């Protein structure tokens, strides 16, 4: 069973689709209040993992416990605490947006009508339109509203902004920043638009081919990799630079751009001084970190 | 590889074409045997290849439209004439092959056969171009599949096949001239410069597109845009169901069952309430028609069962509401029961209506053939009860391919009929062999419940 504040506990979960290993021995604990970014290429297993958490997919082996319950046996009590936006955007096409909101809200004891009104206004949603006639972006906006309308404790967003235009994406991020003010709310966001989610996440999960490549705090991940420009103050740089754990290096005669792992800035500065070089350290974006990790 | 080769490779070699090929191939064999085996005198046989060519024309044209609607296909410079060339090549080749079969008719020499074969070639091309034209001209071209019963009826009454046979053997020159005229007109019709532009990038339900869910959704959305009332839920119906969903204890089973019923019947009830008179008249007309067909009319008991094969039990859904797997199981099971009871009541009511109509409808006489109105066999009310769980199992297993599920259901019924299983088990029916009937009923429902339970509790539940 789950200890402490963990609301999701995954142990040795494997899932195969035919010959494809979608999840390979995944271990994961998700604590209350965390904002998690789930990163990975297409087919990395992100959506499968999210669907295992809410019990839509059964694991072939291992255990997936959500809100102290086996994910396959989640009841309305637990599922009523989970909001889910899926990337396919499946909704009930024959309903109007208003009818769909009424239909979904009818299942929940509490529905945040105030949030609904603000959201509809901010995102310019037409209630009269038939869901089937909405553009992919509009559908995604409606799907997000349905997932957050009952103030879920666990919000799972699977590619929530992929179909949104830049303005709607920016509004969505503002909304997300508002939502995460609630300390009790846990959010898992899977997205390809890393520049967006790096503003909100505090933990990063990086997946590749069904395996969890990295699971750490986002700040730790940022500190793990450092990129700096080394400029020689007199003459050429030495052939071999004395830095450890170099991930990448682009060098010409008197300047080099290096990316290193697990290095302290103070130490880098000290080493640059001994080489009689100027050092300019710049933080890496999540996108750059992701590329390094998966490569 | 050129753009043309890519188009040909991808679109004219679709997997479903093999199925079509198998279907046409089977009939080719049957027709060939009939032509060669029966000789010149036999009437009716020549109607079969003409009909075959009509269907070949519709399908070849449908494939061509499939390609035409793809952007960057035949709207590209230098490609505009490809559909015409493709249609002509296929049509002329098939007509030529069919007319060759005339030379195998026993007891005829080459000189006797040649004019007849040329005239038959003309008839086949006319038939082929007619099929192609129907597909290009009418959006609802698949309705042409309802044509054979009418043709058979027309042939019996008007002797169309006799007319064709006489024309081929007695006035071949006239037929050949008509053939030339039709072929030239067809060539000109498919040479129009606006043909490619008319179809390029347009949303079009292709020959094998009922399999394509995304495209079907888009087409439905397009239709709904044009007809705002289509598939629209009436406010009263919506309020009724929403009150039921929100009125029950949150998280209770009843809530999800009402929700499932709303999703499945909300639109249907609204449409029925709007169009009930048209619906009733359509049923009445259908009953009058099937009543005069004799025992074959009892197929009415099967049609709704096959329609159910396309019914979604709402087991697979990505839209997460707070219902769990248990709720999905019970709501799907309730829905299956409700559908079955509803359909059983409808077909029973239809059978009773035919019993009421029987003394009112007269005996019809057409050209020495008399047609008596027969009431449907009410004992067959048992068919939906027995067969709906079977088609629902097929639908649950092939949920990602609803058209395949429907096709398999039709195949299954054909198979059962072929071996007389359904007919016997149901004509034996509830009153004559109650034990067997009830055992079969329990067995089918047991299988359905077991499969449903396994899927809802152990399988992936996304679309």
Interface of A with B in 201-260 (CB under 8 A): none
Cα(A179)–Cα(A272) distance, rounded to whole angstroms? 44
Angle A270-A272-A273 from CA coordinates, rounded to 5°: 65
Q: What ipTM was predicted for this assembly?
A: 0.90
Share of residues in chain B with pLDDT > 90 (%): 30
3-state secondary structure of A47: helix
pLDDT band at B206 (very low <50, low <70, confident <90, very high): confident
Rounded to the nearest angstrom, the minimum Cα separation between A135 and chain B is 11
* Per-residue pLDDT band at A76 (split at 50, 70, 90): very high
Please tell me if residue A59 touches chain B, with a CB cutoff of 8 Å: no
Nearest CA in chain A to B462: A56
* Nearest chain A residue (CA) to B323: A76
A84 touches chain B (CB under 8 A): yes
B441 and B332 within one domain: yes
User: Could you give the CA distance from residue A172 to residue A167 in angstroms, rounded to a whole number?
Assistant: 9
Q: Are residues B341 and B267 in the same domain?
A: yes
Task: Decide if B266 is inside a domain.
Answer: yes
Query: Which H/E stretch holds residue A14?
Result: strand A6-17
Q: How many CB pairs under 8 A join A and B?
A: 110
CA B220 to CA B216: how far, in whole Å?
A: 6
Tell whether B276 and B181 lie within a shared domain: no
Q: What is the domain range of residue B52?
A: 3-210
Q: For chain B, how many structural domains are there in total?
A: 2
Q: Are residues B217 and A132 in contact, defined by beta-carbon separation less than 8 angstroms?
A: yes
Domain ranges of chain A: 6-209, 225-294
Residue B281 lies in a domain: yes
The closest of B240, B373, B264, B257 to B313, measured between CA atoms, is B264
Q: Give the Å distances, CA to CA, from B100 to A21, A90, B132, B411.
A: 56, 54, 22, 33
Select from B221, B242, B460 the Cβ nearest to the Cβ of A56: B460
- B181 lies in the same domain as B299: no
CATH number of A225-294: 3.30.70
Q: What is d(CA A231, CA B110) in angstroms, rounded to the nearest whole number? A: 96
| Architecture category of domain A6-209 in CATH | 3-Layer(aba) Sandwich (3.40)
Give B360: exposed, middle or buried? Use CB within 10 Å, 0-12, 13-18, 19+: exposed
In this structure, the answer to whether residues B40 and B118 fall within a common structural domain is: yes
Q: Do A54 and B320 touch (CB under 8 A)?
A: yes
Q: Of A18, A50, A56, A188, which to mutate for an interface test with B (greatest number of B Cβ within 10 Å)?
A: A56
Q: pLDDT digit string (tens) for B92-148?
A: 999 998 888 777 776 677 777 888 889 989 999 999 999 999 988 887 777 777 666
pLDDT digits 0-9 by tens, A233-248: 877 888 888 888 888 8
Largest separation between any pair of C-alpha atoms in chain B: 87
Q: Is the pLDDT of residue B4 over 70?
A: no
**Sequence-ordered list of residues with C-beta below 8 angstroms from that of A49, at least 6 positions apart, any chain:** A10, A13, A23, A26, A28, A38, A207
B210 DSSP 8-state letter? G
A57: contact with B, CB 8 A cutoff: yes
> Can you say how many angstroms the Cα of residue A196 is from the centroid of all Cα atoms in its chain?
10
Please judge whether B250 and A79 are an interchain contact, meaning their C-beta atoms are less than 8 angstroms apart.
Answer: no
pTM above 0.95, yes or no: no
Residue B223 in domain: no
Residues B258 and B114 in one domain: no
∠ CA A30-A31-A37, nearest 5°, is: 55
Q: B417, B286 in Cβ contact below 8 A?
A: no
Residue B224 resides in a domain: no
**Is B447 part of a structural domain of the chain?**
yes
- Residues in CB range of A104: below 8 A, 6 or more apart: A146, A149, B319, B321
Beta bridge partners of A225: A261
Q: Which residue has the higher pLDDT, B337 or A1?
A: B337
Confidence tier at B253 by pLDDT (50, 70, 90): very high
The kind and range of the H/E element at B179 are helix B172-189
> CB-CB: which of A57, A94, A133 is closest to B460?
A57
Long-range contacts of B398-404 (CB under 8 A, 24+ apart): B399/B312, B399/B315, B399/B316, B399/B463, B400/B463, B401/B211, B402/B213, B402/B309, B402/B310, B402/B312, B403/B210, B403/B211, B403/B310, B404/B211
**B264 and B321 in a common domain:** yes
Q: Nearest-5° angle of CA B338, CA B342, CA B345?
A: 140
Q: B270 lies in a domain?
A: yes
Q: Are residues B289 and B247 in the same domain?
A: yes
Q: Which residues of B touch A158 (CB under 8 A)?
A: none
Residue A2 pLDDT greater than 90, yes or no: no
Q: State the smallest CA–CA distance between residue B250 and chain A in angstroms.
A: 6
Q: Which residue, of B144, B179, B210, is where some domain finishes? A: B210
CA atoms within 13 A on the CB side of A185: 19
Pair (B183, B257) in one structural domain: no
Q: Do B224 and A133 touch (CB under 8 A)?
A: yes
Same domain? For B308 and B452 the reply is yes
The answer on B237 and B201 residing in a single domain is no
Task: Give me the long-range contacts of B277-285 (CB less than 8 A, separation at least 24).
Answer: B283/B350, B283/B353, B284/B353
B366's enclosing H/E stretch is strand B364-366
In this complex, the residue of B256, B319, B327 whose CB is nearest that of residue A91 is B319
In a domain, B221, yes or no: no
Residue B202 Rama label (left phi>0; alpha psi -120 to 50; beta): beta
């Amino acid at each position: 069973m789950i200890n402490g504040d963990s609301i999701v506990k995954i142990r040795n979960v494997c899932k195969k689709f035919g010959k494809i290993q979608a999840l390979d021995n995944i271990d994961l604990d998700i604590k209350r209040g965390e904002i998690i970014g789930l990163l990975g290429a297409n087919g990395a297993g992100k959506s499968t993992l999210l669907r295992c958490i809410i019990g839509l997919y059964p694991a072939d082996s291992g255990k997936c416990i959500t809100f102290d319950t086996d994910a396959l046996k989640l009841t309305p009590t637990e599922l009523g605490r989970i909001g889910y936006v899926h990337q396919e955007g499946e909704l009930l096409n024959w309903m109007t947006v208003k009818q769909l909101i009424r239909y979904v809200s009818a299942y929940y004891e509490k529905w945040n009508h105030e949030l609904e009104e603000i959201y509809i206004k901010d995102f310019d949603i037409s209630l009269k339109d038939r869901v089937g006639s909405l553009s992919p972006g509009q559908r995604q906006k409606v799907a997000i509203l349905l997932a957050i309308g009952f103030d879920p404790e666990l919000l799972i967003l699977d590619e929530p902004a992929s179909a949104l235009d830049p303005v709607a994406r920016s509004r969505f991020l503002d909304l997300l920043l508002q939502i995460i003010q609630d300390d009790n709310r846990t959010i898992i966001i899977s997205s390809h638009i890393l520049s967006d989610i790096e503003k909100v996440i505090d933990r990063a999960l990086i997946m590749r081919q069904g395996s969890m490549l990295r699971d750490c705090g986002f700040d730790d991940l940022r500190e793990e990799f450092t990129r700096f420009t080394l400029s020689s103050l007199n003459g050429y740089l030495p052939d071999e630079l004395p830095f450890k754990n170099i991930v990448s290096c682009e060098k010409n005669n008197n300047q080099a751009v290096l990316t290193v792992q697990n290095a302290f800035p103070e130490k880098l500065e000290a080493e640059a001084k001994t080489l009689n070089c100027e050092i300019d350290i710049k933080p890496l974006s999540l996108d750059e970190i992701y590329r390094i990790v998966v490569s | 590889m050129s753009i043309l080769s890519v188009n040909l490779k991808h679109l004219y070699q679709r997997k479903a074409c093999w199925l079509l090929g198998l279907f046409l191939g089977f009939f080719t064999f049957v027709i060939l045997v009939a032509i060669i085996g029966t000789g010149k005198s036999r009437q009716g046989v020549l109607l079969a290849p003409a009909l075959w060519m009509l269907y070949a024309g519709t399908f070849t044209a449908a494939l061509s439209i499939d390609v035409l609607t793809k952007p960057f296909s035949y709207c590209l410079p230098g490609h505009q004439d490809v559909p015409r060339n493709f249609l002509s090549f296929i049509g002329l080749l098939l007509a030529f092959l069919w007319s060759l079969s005339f030379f195998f008719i026993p007891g005829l020499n080459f000189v006797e056969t040649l004019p007849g074969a040329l005239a038959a070639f003309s008839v086949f091309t006319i038939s082929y171009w007619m099929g192609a034209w129907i597909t290009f001209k009418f959006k609802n071209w698949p309705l042409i599949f309802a044509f054979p019963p009418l043709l058979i009826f027309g042939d019996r009454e008007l002797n169309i096949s006799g007319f064709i046979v006489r024309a081929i053997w007695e006035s071949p020159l006239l037929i050949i001239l008509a053939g030339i005229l039709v072929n030239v007109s067809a060539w000109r019709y498919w040479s129009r410069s606006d043909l490619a532009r008319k179809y390029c990038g347009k949303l079009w339900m292709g020959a094998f597109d009922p399999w394509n869910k995304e495209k079907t959704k888009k087409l439905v959305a397009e239709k709904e845009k044009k007809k705002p009332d289509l598939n629209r839920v009436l406010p009263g119906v919506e309020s009724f169901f929403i009150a039921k969903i929100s009125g029950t204890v949150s998280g209770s089973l009843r809530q999800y069952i009402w929700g499932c019923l709303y999703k499945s019947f909300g639109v249907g009830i609204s449409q029925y309430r709007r169009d009930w008179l048209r619906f009733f008249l359509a049923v009445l007309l259908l009953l009058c028609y099937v009543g005069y067909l004799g025992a074959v009319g009892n197929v009415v008991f099967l049609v709704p069962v096959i329609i159910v094969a396309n019914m979604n039990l709402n087991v697979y859904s990505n839209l997460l509401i707070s219902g769990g797997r248990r709720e999905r199981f019970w709501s799907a099971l309730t829905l299956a029961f409700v559908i079955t009871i509803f359909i059983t009541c409808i077909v029973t009511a239809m059978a009773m209506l035919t019993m009421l109509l029987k003394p009112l409808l007269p005996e019809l006489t057409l050209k020495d053939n008399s047609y008596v109105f027969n009431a449907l066999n009410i004992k067959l009310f048992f068919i939906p009860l027995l067969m709906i769980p079977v088609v629902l199992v097929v639908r649950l297993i092939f949920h990602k391919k609803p058209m395949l599920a429907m096709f398999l259901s039709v195949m299954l019924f054909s198979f059962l009929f072929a071996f007389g299983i359904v007919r016997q088990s149901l004509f034996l029916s509830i009153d004559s062999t109650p034990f067997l009937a009830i055992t079969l009923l329990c067995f089918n429902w047991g299988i359905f419940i077991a499969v449903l339970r396994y899927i809802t509790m152990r399988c992936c539940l996304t679309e």
